Amino acid sequence: MSMAYAYSDRRAAGRALARALESYRGRPGLAVLALPRGGVPVAYEVARALHAPLDVFAVRKLGVPGHEELAMGAVASGGIFVLDTRLAEMLGVQPAQIDRIKQRELDELHRRESAYRDTRPALQLQGKTVIVIDDGLATGSSMHAAVEALRQSAPARIIVAVPVGAAGTCERLRTLADDVLCVLSPAQFHAVGAHYVDFRQTSDEEVRELLQAAAADLQRWTAA
């Protein structure tokens, strides 16, 4: 593998991340959440190594009308809704507009969750130590929204863990999460994909297969 890359693919990155999280193995009340889709192969390896349940935590940002790249809030798994009311008011976004954007993103979030989970219920997170995983952090906007949304589920602790992230982003997230683990945070950071040999898009089918495999793993561990 070229020295220009840190990881051959997301599964290899997950194994490296799992080694860095080894101290959590076997802890009671542990849950691993993946930001779909790219975070799922990474998180699968972590959940398998730590003997922890795995679930997806889908987040859809609510873009400001006409400036969709600017997030004014988010919806997330479990019907969670967060809104920066100060920003929305400052930009003159009307409540009816917010409702329309919220419903559109909720519809897409529910579609994805249904495709990923089949009939399996979402993990209950109250009082749990939750490790939230993605394949990397660039701006960190999705992870930021995920952590804010997760707080509403009242977990005991939220740990953000990624194989690679921009140093500034990793530091900013420390003000939100209880702990942040970026295995690599290179000084020269251009894009998450630059640190992978294979960074092909993760498919819905791969997400489904990995969640099914994780559920089967969990059954074996609890039956042993």
Contacts of 36 (CB under 8 A, 6+ apart): 56, 58, 112, 116, 202, 207
pTM for the full model?
0.88
In tens, the pLDDT along 46-88 reads: 999 999 999 999 888 898 999 887 889 888 887 888 888 999 9
Unique residue bearing structure tokens 């089949």: 118
Q: Give the separation between CA 201 and CA 38, rounded to whole angstroms.
A: 7
pLDDT digit string (tens) for 137-183? 988 888 988 998 899 899 999 999 999 999 999 999 999 999 999 99
**Residue 78, C-beta contacts closer than 8 angstroms, at least 6 positions apart:** 122, 152, 153
Spatial CA neighbour of 146 closest among 55, 79, 40, 60:
60
Q: What is the pLDDT of residue 198?
A: 96
Cβ contact 47:53 at 8 Å: yes
Per-residue tokens: 150: 């997760």
